[in-house]
Chains A and B, each alone.
Chain A
Amino acid sequence: MTLEELEVFVTTQANVSMEAYYWWCTALMITIHVGFLMYEVGASRFKNAVSSAVKNLLAFAFMIPTFWLFGWYIYLAFPGGFTPIDLEGYGTPWNVSMGPMLSDQATGVFWAAFTLFACTTASVFSGAVLERIRISAFVFLAVLLGSVCWILGAAWGWHPDGWLVTQFGYHDVGAAGVVHMIAGWFAFGVILNLGPRVGKYNADGSANEIEGHDLRFSFVGLLMIIVGFFGFLGGCLIWAGADLGGWINIYGAPATLSSFAFNTLMGLAGGMIGAFWMSKGNPFWMMSGGLAGIFSCASGLDVWYPGLAFVLGFVGGVIIIPANNWLHSVFKIDDPVGAVSVHGVAGIWGVVAMGLFASGYPAAGDIPPTSFGGQLVGCIVMFLVGFVPGYGVSFVMKMMGWLRVPDAVQIAGIDQAELGLRAHTSA
């Protein structure tokens, strides 16, 4: 083998390994959807279990083509704000860049990872609207969230040229703000207009607990989501293949898979234990707390000391329960799975914690170092990117009569009324 041949061989192997890595991250992220599906089927009453599953699967299915149509383009074209940069057609679906190119083995794989991020974001929203949102309305809102709002937030807070990054040093490697805050507060905006399930609230304003029909599904589903998040978080790290010596974070600074491994697990454990304590042993909240623990650490997964990650996760697991209770009592919302609290509130904690405990960390080039002020600005922006379109668009849909399943259909059960199906025949 000549030296040139050896160089080609090594470069090819490095690039193929990098592409395969994101391929398997994408595959692993599909288990997040297995998890969300099981979780939400379990949290639904028997009469709505199938439609909850259909809704979940449709979000996944619609996210893929819409992210190909315009989501990926939004990420590439809008890092500066609301004015697109001129990409000379790159990233538009009829451009050759959006199909297989022999000279570019990686774009499709990166697109796939981002598409699964979009699918995950839409799945977060699906739990909050269980049992009373029209499936067609849900699909429309999910596309808005996953293929427009979230990816716009990512263009601003993840893209190395994003204005939150270049002007404020916003640091959010694991997407506490970019995914979880946007999804959680989008869901909050929608459920303010959607209204509660029939029977959730009494005339005097007191709330009734509406139990899901199979908690075992929910427990296993939540654990599956955690498995899938190793694909999600793994996909948040950048492996430049043959270009650079090792891993970098999305902002170009050195990072390690080791840091993600340490801190994801420690944050997960802290969240589970904190929520176990706060909920007095409720396994639903314990598992949700585990997720919240990961989100609490997500912004700074690359830099936390593992002991601090555990404490951050513990706090996240503790706060989601009173936050969920407060949101329900003040706003009279109906959030069957606590999505607003687990994602929206824990996401805020994750973004702000980066500013409180990890200010001064550098990024590549002229990107400012991390700061509390930068994280606070990012926090406000991510809240607005989620809440404003969620509330505004669902308000219009409500006025059009295209949002809520009528009460009579809710009482009869969506499965039988709309699908003519039963989840199983043993009940």
Chain B
Amino acid sequence: MQKILFIDPEKCSGCRICESVCSLHHEKVCNPGRARIHIVKWETAGLYVPMVCQQCETPLCETVCPMHAIKRDDKTDAMLIDYDLCVGCKLCVMFCPFGGVNLDSRTGKVAKCDLCGGEPLCVKFCDPQSLQYLNATAINLRKRRAAAEKFSDLMKKLLAIA
């Protein structure tokens, strides 16, 4: 079954552990700017939103890549960059609607989330569970239950008034 890196911004505490473990795992250094995930913050409003590749069903990065260097991985369904083919044209960076492809300031190469081969480290380290690696059914059920809870609260209030 397909698993998805599911983001719940409401739970994010903005600690940037995901960024540092991502760069530490992939680049062997700690440098949030080189991580594949980034927490976008509106500090004065208290909003934190982790942004990462969504592994789209119709990936624009794949469509625009002139070298066909971006392909879906059979095992994890992640979109992976084949660096043997990549020429570094950065079209994928320009077209991705999420900023999911990262341009590495040090190497000049593009990089993106590869779901760590099926065990995303950011998820493993995210204690508030703002990042979760779930299968699609679980996400649907979870979303619906959360929405239904709001409904049932409303129903209870209405009934109480009546």
Instruction: Please say whether chains A and B are actual partners in one complex.
Output: no
